[in-house]
């Protein structure tokens, strides 16, 4: 247990020293959100209908980018080798890495998405379902990102998106629908429950698959 | 009986046996499949009756239905091979997945294109985001991911294992995507477009369709075996049995 | 303590080495030699558990923990020298004073708060040596530990070997260096 706390502290330290780990997702998010009014239309009525989907898509893409390289540095400098040699439980370690990456790349964007009230004219009532759905949906997307990152180690740039995005489609649909339901007065609790169920169900499976994928590179 | 099955299973995993048998079977498969496809195409395009509702446009069914059917079948067979590879480490299964993926991708693409060509004059739109089309597009993406993943790993065994993982992930995810888009769609807009409607198809239209389906399946077998032979050649080129085989010819 | 029987390793249908059998019981330090590409690193990775797809048998008895040091340093670029050692996953919980005393012996004390990205290759190797010194494992698998080390540090490491052996540990290291000692040799060239 102390061992895993040590690894948690280590990962936090590494991420916090690299300012790009939380600046890049934020910058990407802000730039993308700005593209939509410019590229689509700056009419509030149009944007507020699109806002739930646009925010979710941007969060998805941003997570995809930041998870591409989750294991690449550790692979290059030999840390993963040492982890394998240590005989420790890799699932916990991968979980810790996903968690820390989530804190630095997803959490800032979730906070920023609150500003979509102004930027994309999202109605205020949509804020609660937005935050809740993002808080529960993004960890699942991070799981898929970690699997894609473990398979590609940041090298082959097609596998990450091609694998992660189709997997994330159900989460995307449930998330945007939750916000749209709420804006139309329909109860969105079932969506949140489904999202939570998906996360709990997939957590062990995808962790196991990610660890297997990492070990593949050592044959 | 059981012993014969076991023997067959072991033979299936043996490269030399496969090479020998496929060499004999391929010319027949090629001949029959191409003949069937030509016959069914000409029959379907020119000699089957005109549809009462859709006119002559429906004839694309003779390309669209086989292509879509085979694209899904190939993926399911690849997922069986993936499971076999991961559990029993049968190398032939890895060869199977690598060889069939491009064929599956090609037919998925043909299916999507032919569907779009059918959709435009019939229902006024090239594309719609309903469950079936969206999940077919996702299927296409998975095929591409499998093809793209082949070159990422240094060791072939690692590449085969990674590809098997992706295949199995896809086979689980595809029905989920289909269900979730369907659910999302039916709650938002009525499902206006459905591509199946040939349950009440007349026999005169059905027969060339069946020929076409059979022809395409045989064609996939034909190209699949060819592709697997090529893959085995490239993997085993330095092995004794292969060199002996080459020198015999 | 450590025993292999007919150990072979294959990469893509080609054997890197085959039918390697040895036993480590009484002697404590073994030197792994062989030409480039003969499988020294591979063997060490198999023994440390990084590569699991070997053929043959491998058994480890009475091994409580293993310390592996490979070609790659495992150092994190934006952590300081001290932090890299403190958070080294091969080590148990250690205090900063222990780290400081080791760094002093290695002449790295002046660099202890500098991020390891700014260090030379030899200094990075020394950080690995620091971890080696602080470890309390009883089996050490070291892949070319003397690479890039100056002669002073090389002598220091040789002394540390003796200290470790006195406390009951076993060491297998690969090297191209020659020492005056007669370590029992594992020669990979014989098994290619």
Give the gap in angstroms from C-alpha B193 to the nearest C-alpha of chain A. Answer: 20
CA distance B224 to B96: 8
Residue B127 belongs to a domain: yes
Residues A25/A75/C103/A9 CA torsion (nearest 10 deg): 40
Question: Domain limits at B171?
Answer: 50-201
Whether chain B has a CB inside 8 Å of the CB on A165: the answer is yes
Q: What is the mean predicted confidence (pLDDT) over B186-204?
A: 56
Q: Which two tokens stand for residue A125?
A: 């009532």
Confidence band (pLDDT; 50, 70, 90) for B193? very low
On whether residue C122 sits in a domain, the answer given is: yes
Residues in chain C: 192
What are the strands, taking DSSP E only, across chain C?
Answer: 2-11, 14-24, 29-33, 55-60, 66-69, 139-143, 170-174, 185-187
Nearest to A173 among B141, B149, B181 (CB): B181
* Number of structural domains found in chain B: 1
Q: Measured between alpha carbons, how far is A206 from B237 in angstroms, rounded to an integer?
A: 37
How close B215 gets to chain C, by Cα (Å)? 37
Residues of B with CB under 8 A from a CB of C: 155-157, 239
Contact criterion met (CB below 8 Å) for A25 and A106: yes
With CB atoms and an 8 Å threshold, state whether B153 touches A216. Answer: yes
As a whole number of angstroms, the distance between CA C181 and CA C108 comes to 28
pLDDT over threshold 80, residue C58: yes
Which chains does chain B touch, 3 or more C-beta pairs < 8 A?
A, C
B137 in a structural domain: yes
Nearest to C49 among A9, A85, A219 (CB): A85
> Is the separation of the CB atoms in A175 and A191 below 8 Å?
yes
Residue at B130 is within a domain: yes
C-alpha–C-alpha distance, residues C13 and C7, integer Å: 15
- pLDDT, position B51: 75
Q: Which residues are C170's β-sheet partners?
A: C139
Query: pLDDT digit string (tens) for A69-104?
Result: 899 999 999 999 999 988 888 999 999 999 999 999
pLDDT-derived band at B198 (thresholds 50, 70, 90) equals: very low
Of residues B134 and B77, more confidently modeled: B77
The pLDDT mean for chain C works out to 87
Number of domains chain A is built from: 1
Burial of B81 (0-12, 13-18, 19+ CB in 10 A): buried
Cα four-point dihedral sign C46, C49, C54, C60 = positive
- Whether residue B174 is contained in a domain is answered as yes
Identify the bridge partners of residue C185 per DSSP, sorted by sequence position.
Answer: C31
If you average pLDDT over every residue of chain A, what do you get? Answer: 90
Lowest mean pLDDT segment, chosen from A12-16, A132-136, B30-34, B188-192: B188-192
The two three-digit tokens of residue B94, written as one number:
């890895």
| Cα-based angle A90, A91, A96 (whole degrees, multiple of 5) | 95
Q: Closest Cα partner for A63 from A214, A165, A156, A158? A: A165
Count of B-C CB contacts under 8 Å: 6
Contact yes or no for A146/A98 (Cβ under 8 A): yes
Domain range for A208 is 2-216
- How confident is the model over B201-237, as pLDDT tens digits? 677 778 888 889 999 999 999 999 999 999 998 888 8
pLDDT in tens, C179-192: 667 788 888 888 88
Q: Residues C31-60: what's their mean pLDDT?
A: 87
| Contact check, Cβ <8 Å, A79/C78 | no
Contacts of C14 (CB under 8 A, 6+ apart): none
Domain count, chain C: 1
CB B173 within 8 A of CB B135: no
Q: How many CB atoms lie within 10 A of CB A53?
A: 16
| A17 CB within 8 Å of a chain C CB | yes
Whether residue B180 is contained in a domain is answered as yes
CA dihedral B138, B143, B144, B149 (to 10 degrees): 130
Report ipTM (2 d.p.). 0.86
Closest CA to B116 of B129, B106, B104, B102: B129
Q: Do C78 and A85 touch (CB under 8 A)?
A: no
Q: Which of A32-46, B57-71, B86-100, C13-27 is predicted with the least confidence, judged by mean pLDDT?
A: C13-27
Separation in Å, CA of C85 to nearest CA in chain A: 11
What mean pLDDT is reported for chain B? 85
Q: Measuring CA to CA, which residue among A115, A213, A108, A219 is closest to residue A164?
A: A213
A83 touches C: beta carbon within 8 Å: yes
pLDDT tens-digit map of C81-140:
999 999 999 998 899 999 999 999 988 888 889 999 899 988 999 999 999 999 988 899
Strand ranges of the sheet holding C139-143, from the earlier edge strand across to the other edge: C66-69, C139-143, C170-174, C29-33, C185-187
Q: Which residue of B has its CA nearest to C11?
A: B155
Indicate whether B207 belongs to any domain.
Answer: no
**Range of C90's domain?**
75-134
What is the reported pLDDT for B154?
Answer: 76
Residues of chain C with C-beta less than 8 angstroms from the C-beta of B153 = none
Contact B107, B78 (CB under 8 A): no
Instruction: Tell me the shortest Cα–Cα distance from B75 to chain C, in angstroms.
Output: 26
Residue spans of beta strands (DSSP E) within B139-225? none
Q: Is the dihedral of CA C3, C6, C9, C15 positive or negative?
A: positive
How far does CA C188 lie from the centroid of its chain? 17
Q: How many residues in total does chain A contain?
A: 219
Give the count of beta carbons closer than 10 Å to the beta carbon of residue A9: 15
Interface contact C51-A81, CB threshold 8 A: no
Residue B192 has pLDDT above 60, yes or no: no
Contacts of A13 (CB under 8 A, 6+ apart): C79, C83, C87
Average pLDDT over residues C133-161: 89
Tell me how far apart the alpha carbons of residues B230 and B96 are, in angstroms, rounded to a whole number: 11
The 3-state DSSP class for residue A71 equals coil
A213, A147 contact by CB (below 8 A): yes
Tokens of B22: 């496929």
In a domain, C44, yes or no: no
Asked if the structure places residue C120 within a domain, the reply is: yes
- The answer to whether B166 contacts A163, with C-beta atoms less than 8 Å apart, is yes
- pLDDT beyond 60 at C65: yes
What is the spatial distance between Cα B142 and Cα B150, in angstroms, rounded to a whole number?
Answer: 13
Report the C-alpha gap between A157 and A68 in whole angstroms. Answer: 8
Q: Which residues of B touch A209 (CB under 8 A)?
A: 165, 169
CA distance C142 to C132: 9
Chains that contact C by 3+ CB pairs under 8 Å? A, B
pLDDT at C28 over 50: yes
The torsion angles phi and psi of A74, rounded to 5 degrees, stand at -65, -30
User: Widest CA span of chain A, in angstroms?
Assistant: 58
Which residues, other chains included, contact C81 with Cβ-Cβ below 8 Å and sequence gap of 6+?
Answer: C103, C108, C111, C112, C113, C114, C116, C119, C127
**Contact call for B162 and A151, based on CB within 8 A:** yes
């Amino acid at each position: 247990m102390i061992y895993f706390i040590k690894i948690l502290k280590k990962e936090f330290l590494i991420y916090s020293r690299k300012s790009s780990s939380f600046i890049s997702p934020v910058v990407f998010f802000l730039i993308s959100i700005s593209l939509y009014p410019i590229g689509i239309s700056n009419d509030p009525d149009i944007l507020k209908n699109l806002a739930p989907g646009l925010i979710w898509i941007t969060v998805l893409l941003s997570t995809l980018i930041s998870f591409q390289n989750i294991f690449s540095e550790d692979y290059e400098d030999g840390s993963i080798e040492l982890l394998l040699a240590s005989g420790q439980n890799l699932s916990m370690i991968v979980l810790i890495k996903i968690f820390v990456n989530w804190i630095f790349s997803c959490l800032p964007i979730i906070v920023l998405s609150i500003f979509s009230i102004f930027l994309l004219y999202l109605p205020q009532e949509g804020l609660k379902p937005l935050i809740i759905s993002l808080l529960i949906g993004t960890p699942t997307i991070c799981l898929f990102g970690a699997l894609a990152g473990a398979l590609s180690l940041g090298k082959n740039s097609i596998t990450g998106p091609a694998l992660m995005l189709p997997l994330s489609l159900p989460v995307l649909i449930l998330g945007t629908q939750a916000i749209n339901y709420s804006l139309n007065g329909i109860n969105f609790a079932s969506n949140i429950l489904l999202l939570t169920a998906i996360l709990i169900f997939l957590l062990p499976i995808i962790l196991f698959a990610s660890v297997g994928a990492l070990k593949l590179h050592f044959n | 009986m059981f012993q014969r099955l076991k023997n067959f299973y072991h033979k299936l995993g043996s490269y030399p046996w496969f090479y020998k048998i496929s060499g004999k079977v391929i010319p027949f498969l090629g001949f029959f499949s191409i003949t069937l496809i030509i016959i069914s195409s000409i029959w379907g395009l020119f000699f089957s009756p005109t549809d009462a509702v859709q006119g002559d446009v429906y004839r694309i069914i003779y390309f669209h239905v086989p292509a879509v059917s085979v694209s899904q079948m190939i993926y399911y067979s690849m997922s069986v091979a993936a499971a076999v590879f991961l559990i029993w480490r049968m190398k032939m299964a890895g060869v199977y997945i690598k060889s069939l993926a491009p064929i599956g991708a090609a037919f998925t693409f043909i299916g999507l294109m032919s569907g779009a060509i059918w959709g435009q004059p019939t229902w006024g739109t090239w594309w719609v985001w309903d469950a079936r089309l969206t999940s077919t597009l996702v299927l296409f993406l998975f095929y591409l991911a499998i093809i793209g993943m082949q070159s990422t790993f240094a060791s072939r065994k690692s590449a085969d294992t990674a590809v098997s993982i992706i295949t199995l992930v896809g086979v689980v995810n595809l029905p989920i995507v289909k269900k979730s888009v369907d659910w999302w769609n039916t709650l938002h807009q009525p499902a206006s477009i459905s591509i199946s409607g040939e349950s009440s198809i007349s026999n005169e239209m059905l027969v060339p369709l069946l020929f076409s389906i059979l022809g395409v399946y045989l064609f996939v077998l034909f190209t699949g075996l060819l592709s697997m032979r090529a893959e085995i050649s490239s993997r085993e080129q330095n092995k004794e049995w292969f060199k002996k085989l080459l020198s015999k010819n | 303590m450590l025993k292999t029987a007919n150990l072979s390793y294959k990469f893509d249908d080609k054997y890197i080495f085959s039918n390697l059998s040895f036993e480590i019981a009484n002697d404590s330090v073994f030197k792994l030699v062989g030409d480039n590409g003969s499988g020294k690193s591979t063997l060490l990775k198999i023994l440390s558990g990084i590569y699991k797809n070997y053929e043959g048998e491998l058994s480890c008895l009475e091994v409580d923990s293993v310390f592996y040091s490979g070609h790659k340093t495992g150092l994190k670029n934006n952590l300081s020298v001290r932090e890299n050692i403190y958070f080294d996953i091969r080590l148990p919980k250690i205090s900063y004073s222990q780290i400081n005393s080791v760094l002093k012996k290695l002449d790295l004390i002046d660099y202890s708060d500098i991020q390891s990205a700014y260090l030379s290759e030899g200094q990075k190797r020394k950080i690995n040596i620091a971890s080696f010194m602080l470890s309390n494992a009883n089996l050490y698998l070291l892949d070319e530990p003397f690479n890039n080390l100056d002669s002073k540090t090389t002598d220091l490491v040789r002394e540390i070997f003796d200290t470790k052996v006195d406390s009951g540990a076993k060491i297998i290291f690969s090297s191209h260096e020659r020492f005056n000692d007669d370590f029992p040799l594992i020669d990979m060239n014989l098994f290619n």
